[in-house]
Structure 1
């Protein structure tokens, strides 16, 4: 550290005035009677440098996750800032604007249980310029009847999925060592 002959206040004042060169500070301190080494001055300045190092600003560009969230979220659930940023992104990328329209149409179909509109949506998706959307539409064709039923009927498999998840959790707790009988008892007796 700096010895008694050096006034730390002088170093801090010089630092705040913009003099961040340790060699220059060392020469100024020496003129004022400092008898230490330049290495001591550099070590004394390290905390000031780390405190003065500007933290990198968060990038102004949104992350992919943010944009996907804005595209898939209901427009009423976006803040005004998010909506403004999304509009700027959509204005600069017409493919995303097209994708947003397809997402919105599919969401309306899901919400209103309009499964009869699925063929029209698939045709529009296949006619778009977005290859991933073509792939999604092709996969909907593979199990068309089930997808149409899912978009039409008010029934949900949510409860069944919850029970399946619980059974899988109980099975994992046995680390593969529990036999069928133990698993059966745990499933039937666990509330």
Structure 2
């Protein structure tokens, strides 16, 4: 407190970045707001069936900020790690809020990206390393620079990655004496 010059500085950042029960629904509310629906009660009624457990007043306060702010108020986008985690999980294991946020995030990224990420997750979970070369070819055919960088990194040690995607857990480190392979 001794380092601040004005009383307002004491409040800066204190409440603004705290998680809210409404956070998972803000992308939906923002989209509906941009579509022209500005009725807080109606929007609250729309998000309750989606799993929102909070009250109407929180929705009303969020929309009030949008009405009175000189600049648009938008929710903080989810982190890339969170979006990747949602894409990698089976859709039925996501909460309703996570499904809603993933749906919103996917509107801003190509369908091919989600498909490639899920295909890679399937290769990993089902130990299908033999599919990696085909996956790499498919990734290179799409205009996804981030995945092209990943594909280049995988190519540097392709055999090890295939072994890692194929061999179960710790057995990948032990040498099979009967075949001479590393599984």
TM-score scaled by structure 2?
0.49
Q: Which has the higher helix share?
A: 1
Which is greater in Rg?
A: 1
